[in-house]
Amino acid sequence: MNKGLEKEIDYLRDSKMQAWVAALSSFGGSITLYAFNMPLIFKLIGSFIGISFAIGFFDNFFKKGDMIEKRINFLKKQGE
């Protein structure tokens, strides 16, 4: 494969990994709220927001992950 295809494949893999990291950090942030000394209602609201973001990120990750893998396989076939 030429350098251009390798760079594009690396970019696609990195974008897939960044979506995974964003989902995990959103979920971790919502769990971390329980460590702070604040009223329970704020903890619940913050956790709900964080978990809903995490669900959105994971949904997006799984949908785009399949498309990214198809694109990577297509580029590999094209480069051979």
Q: What is the pLDDT of residue 1?
A: 59
What is the identity of the amino acid at 52?
S
Mean pLDDT of successive 10-residue stretches along the chain, which has 80 residues: 75 74 71 73 79 76 75 78
pTM strictly above 0.85: no
Task: Say how many C-beta atoms besides its own lie within 10 A of residue 54's C-beta.
Answer: 20
Which pLDDT belongs to residue 11? 79
Question: Residue 45 in 3-state DSSP?
Answer: helix
Euclidean distance between CA atoms 74 and 80, whole angstroms? 10
Parent domain of 17: 3-79
In this prediction, residue 80 carries a pLDDT of 65
Per-residue pLDDT at 60: 73
Q: What is the pLDDT of residue 56?
A: 77
Count of the separate structural domains present in the chain:
1
CB 4 within 8 A of CB 74: no
